[in-house]
Structure 1
Amino acid sequence: MLTIGRIDYANVTPLFHALKAHFPCDGYRFTAGVPARLNAMLAAEEIDVCPSSSIEYAIHSERYLILPDLSISSVGPVASVLLFSRVPIEELDGKEVLLSAESATSVNLLRILLGKCFGQSCRYTVSSSPLTEALRTAPAMLLIGDAALRSSMSETGLRIYDLGSLWYEWTGLPFVFALWFCTRAAVRERYQEVRLLADQLVQAKGYADQEREFIADAVPEMAWMGREGLIRYWRENISYELGGAQQEGLRLFYRYAAELGLIPHAPELHFFK
Protein backbone atom coordinates (compact mmCIF):
# COMPACT_ATOMS: atom_id res chain seq x y z
CA MET A 1 0.00 0.00 0.00
CA LEU A 2 1.36 3.42 -0.96
CA THR A 3 1.56 6.02 1.77
CA ILE A 4 0.83 9.51 0.46
CA GLY A 5 1.68 12.72 2.27
CA ARG A 6 -1.03 15.38 2.23
CA ILE A 7 -0.19 19.04 2.88
CA ASP A 8 -2.71 20.69 5.21
CA TYR A 9 -3.06 23.84 3.10
CA ALA A 10 -5.89 25.19 0.95
CA ASN A 11 -3.57 25.34 -2.08
CA VAL A 12 -3.65 21.58 -2.59
CA THR A 13 -7.21 20.85 -1.39
CA PRO A 14 -8.77 20.67 -4.92
CA LEU A 15 -6.33 18.04 -6.13
CA PHE A 16 -6.81 15.73 -3.17
CA HIS A 17 -10.58 16.25 -3.24
CA ALA A 18 -10.72 15.36 -6.95
CA LEU A 19 -8.47 12.32 -6.44
CA LYS A 20 -10.74 10.92 -3.73
CA ALA A 21 -13.94 11.84 -5.58
CA HIS A 22 -13.04 10.19 -8.89
CA PHE A 23 -10.78 7.28 -8.02
CA PRO A 24 -10.87 4.41 -5.51
CA CYS A 25 -8.34 5.37 -2.85
CA ASP A 26 -8.73 2.44 -0.48
CA GLY A 27 -5.32 1.24 -1.68
CA TYR A 28 -3.65 4.41 -0.41
CA ARG A 29 -2.80 5.54 3.11
CA PHE A 30 -2.85 9.33 3.59
CA THR A 31 -0.70 11.14 6.15
CA ALA A 32 -1.40 14.85 6.72
CA GLY A 33 1.06 17.51 7.83
CA VAL A 34 2.84 20.76 7.03
CA PRO A 35 5.59 20.68 4.36
CA ALA A 36 8.53 20.56 6.80
CA ARG A 37 7.14 17.50 8.60
CA LEU A 38 6.28 15.70 5.37
CA ASN A 39 9.74 16.49 3.94
CA ALA A 40 11.31 14.75 6.93
CA MET A 41 8.99 11.76 6.61
CA LEU A 42 9.72 11.45 2.90
CA ALA A 43 13.48 11.60 3.52
CA ALA A 44 13.10 8.85 6.13
CA GLU A 45 10.96 6.80 3.68
CA GLU A 46 8.07 6.83 6.13
CA ILE A 47 5.87 7.97 3.24
CA ASP A 48 6.24 7.03 -0.43
CA VAL A 49 4.77 9.92 -2.42
CA CYS A 50 4.12 13.53 -1.50
CA PRO A 51 3.67 17.06 -2.85
CA SER A 52 6.83 18.28 -1.17
CA SER A 53 8.86 21.48 -0.98
CA SER A 54 10.81 21.91 -4.21
CA ILE A 55 13.98 22.69 -2.24
CA GLU A 56 13.78 19.21 -0.69
CA TYR A 57 14.38 17.67 -4.10
CA ALA A 58 17.51 19.80 -4.51
CA ILE A 59 18.89 18.62 -1.17
CA HIS A 60 18.22 14.91 -1.73
CA SER A 61 17.73 14.52 -5.49
CA GLU A 62 19.42 11.12 -5.43
CA ARG A 63 16.55 9.77 -3.28
CA TYR A 64 13.59 10.91 -5.40
CA LEU A 65 11.93 10.95 -8.79
CA ILE A 66 9.59 13.77 -9.82
CA LEU A 67 6.09 12.85 -10.94
CA PRO A 68 5.58 14.54 -14.34
CA ASP A 69 3.02 17.26 -15.14
CA LEU A 70 2.35 18.14 -11.48
CA SER A 71 3.39 20.97 -9.19
CA ILE A 72 2.10 23.58 -6.79
CA SER A 73 3.20 26.81 -8.43
CA SER A 74 2.18 30.32 -9.37
CA VAL A 75 2.55 32.59 -12.36
CA GLY A 76 2.66 35.88 -10.48
CA PRO A 77 0.84 36.35 -7.15
CA VAL A 78 0.51 33.19 -5.07
CA ALA A 79 -1.43 34.90 -2.22
CA SER A 80 -0.27 32.38 0.39
CA VAL A 81 3.48 33.06 0.65
CA LEU A 82 3.70 36.56 2.07
CA LEU A 83 6.22 38.79 3.79
CA PHE A 84 4.54 41.07 6.35
CA SER A 85 6.66 44.11 7.18
CA ARG A 86 6.46 47.24 9.29
CA VAL A 87 8.90 48.99 6.91
CA PRO A 88 9.37 49.06 3.12
CA ILE A 89 11.19 45.98 1.86
CA GLU A 90 14.03 48.21 0.63
CA GLU A 91 14.76 49.15 4.26
CA LEU A 92 15.29 45.62 5.62
CA ASP A 93 19.05 45.54 4.97
CA GLY A 94 20.89 44.55 8.15
CA LYS A 95 17.67 43.86 10.02
CA GLU A 96 16.19 40.67 11.45
CA VAL A 97 13.57 38.85 9.38
CA LEU A 98 11.46 36.16 11.03
CA LEU A 99 10.73 32.96 9.12
CA SER A 100 8.02 30.34 9.15
CA ALA A 101 9.26 26.90 10.17
CA GLU A 102 6.77 25.21 7.85
CA SER A 103 8.44 25.39 4.42
CA ALA A 104 12.11 25.53 3.45
CA THR A 105 11.28 26.46 -0.16
CA SER A 106 9.58 29.75 0.75
CA VAL A 107 12.34 30.57 3.24
CA ASN A 108 15.02 30.10 0.59
CA LEU A 109 12.99 32.01 -1.99
CA LEU A 110 12.88 34.96 0.43
CA ARG A 111 16.65 34.74 1.01
CA ILE A 112 17.21 34.79 -2.77
CA LEU A 113 14.85 37.72 -3.35
CA LEU A 114 16.29 39.83 -0.53
CA GLY A 115 19.89 38.88 -1.31
CA LYS A 116 19.98 38.89 -5.11
CA CYS A 117 17.02 41.01 -6.19
CA PHE A 118 17.21 43.68 -3.48
CA GLY A 119 20.91 43.32 -2.62
CA GLN A 120 20.29 43.08 1.10
CA SER A 121 22.00 41.21 3.90
CA CYS A 122 19.50 40.29 6.60
CA ARG A 123 19.56 38.19 9.75
CA TYR A 124 17.07 35.32 9.69
CA THR A 125 15.39 33.70 12.68
CA VAL A 126 12.77 30.96 12.69
CA SER A 127 9.74 31.89 14.77
CA SER A 128 6.46 30.19 15.63
CA SER A 129 4.99 33.26 17.35
CA PRO A 130 1.75 34.83 16.09
CA LEU A 131 2.32 37.65 13.61
CA THR A 132 1.36 40.56 15.86
CA GLU A 133 3.52 39.30 18.71
CA ALA A 134 6.46 38.47 16.43
CA LEU A 135 6.57 41.92 14.86
CA ARG A 136 7.05 43.57 18.26
CA THR A 137 10.67 42.39 18.15
CA ALA A 138 11.43 42.29 14.41
CA PRO A 139 10.37 44.44 11.45
CA ALA A 140 9.25 41.64 9.11
CA MET A 141 7.96 38.07 9.13
CA LEU A 142 7.34 35.46 6.43
CA LEU A 143 4.11 33.46 6.61
CA ILE A 144 2.99 30.70 4.29
CA GLY A 145 -0.09 28.61 3.57
CA ASP A 146 -3.32 29.18 5.44
CA ALA A 147 -1.62 31.35 8.06
CA ALA A 148 -0.60 33.79 5.32
CA LEU A 149 -4.07 33.75 3.79
CA ARG A 150 -5.76 34.38 7.13
CA SER A 151 -3.40 37.19 8.11
CA SER A 152 -3.78 38.91 4.72
CA MET A 153 -7.55 39.01 5.27
CA SER A 154 -7.13 41.00 8.49
CA GLU A 155 -6.44 44.73 8.65
CA THR A 156 -2.94 44.83 10.13
CA GLY A 157 -1.62 48.12 8.78
CA LEU A 158 1.47 46.23 7.58
CA ARG A 159 3.10 46.19 4.18
CA ILE A 160 2.45 42.83 2.49
CA TYR A 161 4.79 41.47 -0.18
CA ASP A 162 3.73 38.47 -2.26
CA LEU A 163 6.82 36.35 -3.00
CA GLY A 164 5.24 34.85 -6.11
CA SER A 165 4.77 38.37 -7.49
CA LEU A 166 8.27 39.48 -6.57
CA TRP A 167 9.81 36.44 -8.28
CA TYR A 168 7.70 36.83 -11.43
CA GLU A 169 8.39 40.57 -11.72
CA TRP A 170 12.12 39.89 -11.33
CA THR A 171 12.53 36.81 -13.56
CA GLY A 172 9.43 36.69 -15.78
CA LEU A 173 9.06 33.00 -14.84
CA PRO A 174 6.61 30.96 -12.74
CA PHE A 175 7.75 29.83 -9.32
CA VAL A 176 7.39 26.17 -8.30
CA PHE A 177 6.78 25.95 -4.56
CA ALA A 178 6.24 22.20 -4.44
CA LEU A 179 6.80 19.16 -6.62
CA TRP A 180 5.13 15.80 -6.46
CA PHE A 181 7.83 13.24 -6.00
CA CYS A 182 8.26 9.68 -4.88
CA THR A 183 11.08 7.85 -3.23
CA ARG A 184 13.22 5.68 -5.49
CA ALA A 185 12.60 2.86 -3.03
CA ALA A 186 8.85 3.06 -3.69
CA VAL A 187 9.50 2.93 -7.44
CA ARG A 188 11.67 -0.17 -7.05
CA GLU A 189 9.23 -1.96 -4.79
CA ARG A 190 5.82 -0.76 -6.04
CA TYR A 191 6.35 0.55 -9.54
CA GLN A 192 2.86 -0.26 -10.86
CA GLU A 193 1.19 1.41 -7.87
CA VAL A 194 3.26 4.56 -8.35
CA ARG A 195 2.46 4.56 -12.06
CA LEU A 196 -1.27 4.22 -11.37
CA LEU A 197 -1.20 7.05 -8.82
CA ALA A 198 0.78 9.31 -11.18
CA ASP A 199 -1.85 8.78 -13.90
CA GLN A 200 -4.70 9.38 -11.46
CA LEU A 201 -3.15 12.60 -10.17
CA VAL A 202 -2.80 14.05 -13.65
CA GLN A 203 -6.45 13.23 -14.33
CA ALA A 204 -7.43 14.64 -10.91
CA LYS A 205 -5.69 17.88 -11.90
CA GLY A 206 -8.12 18.19 -14.79
CA TYR A 207 -11.13 17.43 -12.59
CA ALA A 208 -9.95 19.96 -10.00
CA ASP A 209 -9.81 22.64 -12.68
CA GLN A 210 -13.32 21.85 -13.90
CA GLU A 211 -14.97 21.43 -10.51
CA ARG A 212 -13.68 24.33 -8.39
CA GLU A 213 -17.19 25.53 -7.55
CA PHE A 214 -18.38 22.12 -6.39
CA ILE A 215 -15.20 21.51 -4.40
CA ALA A 216 -15.48 24.90 -2.69
CA ASP A 217 -18.95 23.96 -1.42
CA ALA A 218 -17.61 20.76 0.13
CA VAL A 219 -14.43 21.80 1.94
CA PRO A 220 -13.91 23.44 5.37
CA GLU A 221 -11.76 26.28 4.01
CA MET A 222 -14.92 27.95 2.68
CA ALA A 223 -15.93 28.79 6.26
CA TRP A 224 -13.09 31.29 6.68
CA MET A 225 -12.16 32.22 3.09
CA GLY A 226 -15.66 32.52 1.69
CA ARG A 227 -16.83 30.66 -1.42
CA GLU A 228 -15.85 33.29 -3.98
CA GLY A 229 -12.55 34.03 -2.26
CA LEU A 230 -11.62 30.36 -2.25
CA ILE A 231 -12.55 29.85 -5.90
CA ARG A 232 -10.66 33.00 -6.90
CA TYR A 233 -7.56 31.81 -5.01
CA TRP A 234 -7.58 28.47 -6.82
CA ARG A 235 -8.31 30.03 -10.21
CA GLU A 236 -5.99 33.06 -10.12
CA ASN A 237 -3.14 32.13 -7.80
CA ILE A 238 -2.53 28.38 -7.72
CA SER A 239 -1.34 26.28 -10.66
CA TYR A 240 -0.71 22.54 -10.75
CA GLU A 241 1.19 22.64 -14.05
CA LEU A 242 4.82 21.62 -14.59
CA GLY A 243 5.46 22.62 -18.19
CA GLY A 244 8.51 24.15 -19.80
CA ALA A 245 8.15 27.56 -18.14
CA GLN A 246 7.73 26.05 -14.66
CA GLN A 247 10.76 23.83 -15.19
CA GLU A 248 12.82 26.82 -16.35
CA GLY A 249 11.77 28.75 -13.25
CA LEU A 250 12.63 25.77 -11.05
CA ARG A 251 16.11 25.45 -12.57
CA LEU A 252 16.74 29.17 -12.06
CA PHE A 253 15.65 28.90 -8.42
CA TYR A 254 18.07 26.02 -7.91
CA ARG A 255 20.86 27.95 -9.62
CA TYR A 256 20.40 30.98 -7.39
CA ALA A 257 20.09 28.80 -4.28
CA ALA A 258 23.37 27.08 -5.14
CA GLU A 259 25.09 30.44 -5.78
CA LEU A 260 24.07 31.60 -2.29
CA GLY A 261 25.20 28.31 -0.71
CA LEU A 262 21.66 27.35 0.31
CA ILE A 263 21.98 23.97 -1.45
CA PRO A 264 25.12 22.01 -2.38
CA HIS A 265 24.51 22.30 -6.14
CA ALA A 266 21.73 22.79 -8.67
CA PRO A 267 20.37 19.29 -9.41
CA GLU A 268 19.20 17.79 -12.67
CA LEU A 269 15.46 17.10 -12.86
CA HIS A 270 14.87 13.35 -12.93
CA PHE A 271 11.29 12.31 -13.69
CA PHE A 272 9.38 9.14 -12.98
CA LYS A 273 8.68 7.39 -16.27
Structure 2
Amino acid sequence: MTTLPTLQAVRTTPEGLLWEPGERWVRGRKGDITVVDSRRPVLVWEPGVPVPLYAFPRADVREDLLRPAKNPPTGTHTGSRIFYDLDIDGELLANAAWTFPAADLADHIAFEWFRRSGKGLDHWYEEEEEIFIHPRDPHKRVDAIPSSRHVQVSIAGTVVADTHRPVLLFETGLPTRYYVPREDVRLDLLEATDHHTGCPYKGTAGYWSWRGEADVPPNLVWSYPDPLPAVGPIKGLLAFYNEEVDITVDGERLERPVTPFSRKPAPAT
Protein backbone atom coordinates (compact mmCIF):
# COMPACT_ATOMS: atom_id res chain seq x y z
CA MET A 1 0.00 0.00 0.00
CA THR A 2 1.29 3.45 -0.94
CA THR A 3 1.60 5.90 1.95
CA LEU A 4 0.89 9.52 1.06
CA PRO A 5 3.21 12.17 2.53
CA THR A 6 1.92 14.29 5.37
CA LEU A 7 1.35 17.91 4.38
CA GLN A 8 3.15 20.44 6.55
CA ALA A 9 0.76 22.75 8.37
CA VAL A 10 1.39 26.46 8.68
CA ARG A 11 2.36 27.28 12.24
CA THR A 12 1.93 30.47 14.25
CA THR A 13 4.29 32.01 16.80
CA PRO A 14 3.26 34.24 19.74
CA GLU A 15 4.87 37.14 17.89
CA GLY A 16 2.40 36.76 15.02
CA LEU A 17 4.74 35.10 12.54
CA LEU A 18 3.44 32.34 10.29
CA TRP A 19 5.90 29.69 9.13
CA GLU A 20 6.13 26.28 7.56
CA PRO A 21 8.97 23.95 6.58
CA GLY A 22 9.95 23.93 2.93
CA GLU A 23 11.38 21.12 0.83
CA ARG A 24 13.08 23.05 -1.99
CA TRP A 25 16.84 23.24 -2.37
CA VAL A 26 17.59 26.95 -1.96
CA ARG A 27 20.84 28.82 -2.49
CA GLY A 28 21.61 32.48 -2.00
CA ARG A 29 24.66 34.20 -3.44
CA LYS A 30 26.39 37.54 -3.32
CA GLY A 31 28.26 37.77 -6.58
CA ASP A 32 30.07 34.44 -6.97
CA ILE A 33 30.04 33.61 -3.26
CA THR A 34 27.41 31.19 -1.99
CA VAL A 35 26.24 32.43 1.42
CA VAL A 36 23.29 30.05 1.89
CA ASP A 37 22.92 26.47 0.69
CA SER A 38 19.96 24.70 2.26
CA ARG A 39 17.64 21.78 1.65
CA ARG A 40 15.75 22.69 4.83
CA PRO A 41 14.47 26.23 4.28
CA VAL A 42 11.59 27.63 6.28
CA LEU A 43 9.01 29.96 4.73
CA VAL A 44 8.07 32.86 7.02
CA TRP A 45 5.21 35.35 6.69
CA GLU A 46 5.55 38.51 8.79
CA PRO A 47 2.39 40.23 10.12
CA GLY A 48 0.90 42.57 7.52
CA VAL A 49 3.33 41.49 4.78
CA PRO A 50 1.57 39.61 1.94
CA VAL A 51 4.65 37.79 0.59
CA PRO A 52 6.89 35.26 2.36
CA LEU A 53 10.62 35.17 2.95
CA TYR A 54 13.03 32.35 3.69
CA ALA A 55 14.84 31.59 6.94
CA PHE A 56 17.58 28.96 7.07
CA PRO A 57 19.13 26.68 9.70
CA ARG A 58 22.43 28.14 10.90
CA ALA A 59 24.28 25.03 9.71
CA ASP A 60 23.29 25.92 6.12
CA VAL A 61 24.62 29.49 6.34
CA ARG A 62 28.18 30.80 5.95
CA GLU A 63 28.25 32.25 9.46
CA ASP A 64 31.94 33.04 9.01
CA LEU A 65 30.80 35.86 6.70
CA LEU A 66 28.46 37.40 9.29
CA ARG A 67 29.43 40.15 11.72
CA PRO A 68 27.31 41.64 14.53
CA ALA A 69 25.57 44.65 12.99
CA LYS A 70 27.27 47.96 13.71
CA ASN A 71 24.00 49.91 13.46
CA PRO A 72 21.09 47.48 13.83
CA PRO A 73 17.67 48.88 12.92
CA THR A 74 14.72 48.92 15.29
CA GLY A 75 11.09 48.04 14.68
CA THR A 76 11.78 45.91 11.61
CA HIS A 77 11.19 42.26 10.80
CA THR A 78 8.81 41.67 13.71
CA GLY A 79 11.15 42.81 16.45
CA SER A 80 14.10 40.80 15.21
CA ARG A 81 16.48 39.76 17.96
CA ILE A 82 19.88 40.01 16.24
CA PHE A 83 21.03 41.70 13.03
CA TYR A 84 24.18 40.91 11.10
CA ASP A 85 26.34 42.74 8.59
CA LEU A 86 27.61 40.56 5.75
CA ASP A 87 31.35 40.71 5.02
CA ILE A 88 32.08 39.89 1.37
CA ASP A 89 35.76 40.30 0.57
CA GLY A 90 36.03 43.26 2.92
CA GLU A 91 32.81 44.89 1.70
CA LEU A 92 30.38 45.17 4.60
CA LEU A 93 26.69 44.89 3.71
CA ALA A 94 24.81 46.48 6.59
CA ASN A 95 21.95 44.58 8.23
CA ALA A 96 21.85 41.98 5.48
CA ALA A 97 20.73 39.17 7.81
CA TRP A 98 18.80 38.72 11.04
CA THR A 99 17.18 36.27 13.41
CA PHE A 100 13.56 36.35 14.55
CA PRO A 101 12.61 36.55 18.25
CA ALA A 102 10.29 33.55 17.93
CA ALA A 103 11.50 30.49 19.83
CA ASP A 104 10.45 28.27 16.91
CA LEU A 105 12.87 30.11 14.61
CA ALA A 106 15.67 30.88 17.07
CA ASP A 107 18.19 28.74 15.20
CA HIS A 108 17.36 30.19 11.78
CA ILE A 109 18.77 33.17 9.89
CA ALA A 110 16.92 35.25 7.29
CA PHE A 111 18.45 37.46 4.58
CA GLU A 112 17.58 40.56 2.62
CA TRP A 113 17.07 40.12 -1.13
CA PHE A 114 18.78 42.83 -3.18
CA ARG A 115 16.10 43.07 -5.86
CA ARG A 116 13.44 43.55 -3.19
CA SER A 117 15.09 45.87 -0.67
CA GLY A 118 18.16 47.18 -2.49
CA LYS A 119 20.54 45.34 -0.17
CA GLY A 120 21.56 41.81 0.68
CA LEU A 121 22.10 38.78 -1.54
CA ASP A 122 21.61 39.39 -5.25
CA HIS A 123 21.05 35.88 -6.66
CA TRP A 124 18.66 33.25 -5.35
CA TYR A 125 17.91 29.78 -6.68
CA GLU A 126 15.24 27.17 -6.01
CA GLU A 127 16.65 23.89 -7.34
CA GLU A 128 18.22 25.09 -10.65
CA GLU A 129 15.84 27.98 -11.33
CA GLU A 130 16.78 31.52 -10.40
CA ILE A 131 14.03 33.34 -8.51
CA PHE A 132 13.59 37.05 -7.92
CA ILE A 133 12.21 39.59 -5.43
CA HIS A 134 10.90 37.05 -2.88
CA PRO A 135 10.09 33.34 -2.61
CA ARG A 136 7.01 32.16 -4.41
CA ASP A 137 4.12 31.54 -2.05
CA PRO A 138 3.03 27.87 -2.14
CA HIS A 139 -0.48 28.97 -1.17
CA LYS A 140 -0.79 31.38 -4.10
CA ARG A 141 -1.83 30.49 -7.63
CA VAL A 142 -1.25 32.40 -10.88
CA ASP A 143 -3.03 31.28 -14.07
CA ALA A 144 -2.81 32.95 -17.49
CA ILE A 145 -5.77 31.80 -19.61
CA PRO A 146 -6.53 32.89 -23.21
CA SER A 147 -10.12 34.07 -23.64
CA SER A 148 -12.58 35.33 -26.26
CA ARG A 149 -14.26 37.88 -23.99
CA HIS A 150 -14.78 41.37 -25.36
CA VAL A 151 -12.57 43.67 -23.32
CA GLN A 152 -12.43 47.45 -23.66
CA VAL A 153 -10.15 49.74 -21.69
CA SER A 154 -10.81 53.49 -21.41
CA ILE A 155 -8.84 56.33 -19.89
CA ALA A 156 -10.66 59.62 -19.30
CA GLY A 157 -13.40 58.51 -21.70
CA THR A 158 -11.02 57.52 -24.52
CA VAL A 159 -10.95 53.89 -25.60
CA VAL A 160 -7.33 52.80 -25.41
CA ALA A 161 -7.78 49.05 -25.98
CA ASP A 162 -10.48 46.94 -27.62
CA THR A 163 -10.05 43.19 -28.07
CA HIS A 164 -11.82 39.86 -28.39
CA ARG A 165 -8.64 37.90 -27.70
CA PRO A 166 -7.40 38.87 -24.24
CA VAL A 167 -5.45 36.69 -21.87
CA LEU A 168 -6.93 36.77 -18.37
CA LEU A 169 -4.47 36.50 -15.52
CA PHE A 170 -5.95 35.15 -12.29
CA GLU A 171 -3.70 35.65 -9.25
CA THR A 172 -4.71 34.78 -5.71
CA GLY A 173 -5.60 37.90 -3.72
CA LEU A 174 -5.58 40.32 -6.67
CA PRO A 175 -8.17 41.43 -9.23
CA THR A 176 -8.20 39.73 -12.62
CA ARG A 177 -5.76 41.42 -15.00
CA TYR A 178 -6.69 41.69 -18.67
CA TYR A 179 -3.73 41.34 -21.03
CA VAL A 180 -4.39 42.76 -24.51
CA PRO A 181 -2.49 42.12 -27.78
CA ARG A 182 -0.50 45.17 -28.91
CA GLU A 183 -2.41 45.30 -32.18
CA ASP A 184 -5.57 46.00 -30.16
CA VAL A 185 -4.05 48.83 -28.11
CA ARG A 186 -3.79 52.53 -29.08
CA LEU A 187 -0.04 52.72 -28.53
CA ASP A 188 -0.04 56.24 -29.98
CA LEU A 189 -1.79 57.33 -26.78
CA LEU A 190 0.89 55.80 -24.56
CA GLU A 191 4.51 56.66 -23.93
CA ALA A 192 7.14 54.08 -22.97
CA THR A 193 9.05 54.83 -19.76
CA ASP A 194 12.30 53.52 -18.31
CA HIS A 195 10.46 51.98 -15.35
CA HIS A 196 10.89 48.23 -14.78
CA THR A 197 9.78 45.84 -12.04
CA GLY A 198 10.36 42.18 -11.30
CA CYS A 199 7.87 39.54 -10.22
CA PRO A 200 8.78 36.02 -9.00
CA TYR A 201 5.72 34.61 -10.77
CA LYS A 202 5.90 36.43 -14.11
CA GLY A 203 9.34 37.93 -14.77
CA THR A 204 10.47 41.48 -15.59
CA ALA A 205 7.98 44.08 -16.84
CA GLY A 206 8.39 47.29 -18.83
CA TYR A 207 5.93 50.20 -18.57
CA TRP A 208 4.03 52.91 -20.42
CA SER A 209 2.36 56.10 -19.22
CA TRP A 210 -0.71 57.92 -20.56
CA ARG A 211 0.17 60.82 -22.88
CA GLY A 212 -2.96 62.81 -22.10
CA GLU A 213 -3.89 65.27 -19.36
CA ALA A 214 -6.11 62.92 -17.36
CA ASP A 215 -5.55 62.55 -13.62
CA VAL A 216 -3.93 59.13 -13.76
CA PRO A 217 -0.61 58.02 -12.29
CA PRO A 218 2.41 57.24 -14.47
CA ASN A 219 3.37 53.70 -15.40
CA LEU A 220 -0.18 52.38 -15.37
CA VAL A 221 0.37 50.04 -18.35
CA TRP A 222 2.87 47.18 -18.40
CA SER A 223 4.02 44.19 -20.41
CA TYR A 224 6.25 41.17 -19.94
CA PRO A 225 8.39 40.75 -23.08
CA ASP A 226 9.91 37.51 -21.81
CA PRO A 227 7.65 36.08 -19.08
CA LEU A 228 8.37 32.97 -17.06
CA PRO A 229 7.13 29.76 -18.74
CA ALA A 230 4.21 29.31 -16.32
CA VAL A 231 2.55 32.47 -17.69
CA GLY A 232 3.80 32.24 -21.27
CA PRO A 233 0.46 33.34 -22.84
CA ILE A 234 0.95 36.95 -21.61
CA LYS A 235 4.19 37.37 -23.59
CA GLY A 236 4.26 40.83 -25.18
CA LEU A 237 0.65 41.67 -24.24
CA LEU A 238 -0.27 44.88 -22.40
CA ALA A 239 -2.18 45.13 -19.13
CA PHE A 240 -3.70 48.12 -17.33
CA TYR A 241 -4.20 48.83 -13.65
CA ASN A 242 -7.90 48.12 -13.05
CA GLU A 243 -7.57 50.50 -10.11
CA GLU A 244 -6.95 53.52 -12.37
CA VAL A 245 -8.71 52.87 -15.70
CA ASP A 246 -12.21 51.86 -16.81
CA ILE A 247 -12.51 48.27 -18.02
CA THR A 248 -15.62 46.88 -19.70
CA VAL A 249 -15.97 43.12 -20.15
CA ASP A 250 -18.70 41.74 -22.42
CA GLY A 251 -20.59 45.01 -22.11
CA GLU A 252 -20.39 45.21 -18.32
CA ARG A 253 -18.27 47.96 -16.82
CA LEU A 254 -16.20 46.69 -13.91
CA GLU A 255 -15.91 48.49 -10.61
CA ARG A 256 -12.46 49.80 -9.87
CA PRO A 257 -10.98 47.64 -7.13
CA VAL A 258 -9.15 49.06 -4.14
CA THR A 259 -5.82 47.29 -3.65
CA PRO A 260 -2.30 48.12 -2.47
CA PHE A 261 -1.68 49.27 -6.07
CA SER A 262 -4.41 51.95 -6.01
CA ARG A 263 -3.26 55.44 -7.01
CA LYS A 264 0.44 54.59 -6.80
CA PRO A 265 1.06 51.63 -9.11
CA ALA A 266 4.17 49.75 -8.11
CA PRO A 267 5.17 46.17 -8.94
CA ALA A 268 3.38 44.77 -11.97
CA THR A 269 0.71 42.16 -11.38
Common fold by TM > 0.5: no
Work out which structure has the larger RCO, using CA pairs closer than 8 Å and 6 or more positions apart in sequence: 1
State the TM-score, normalized to the length of structure 1.
Answer: 0.24
Higher share in strand:
2
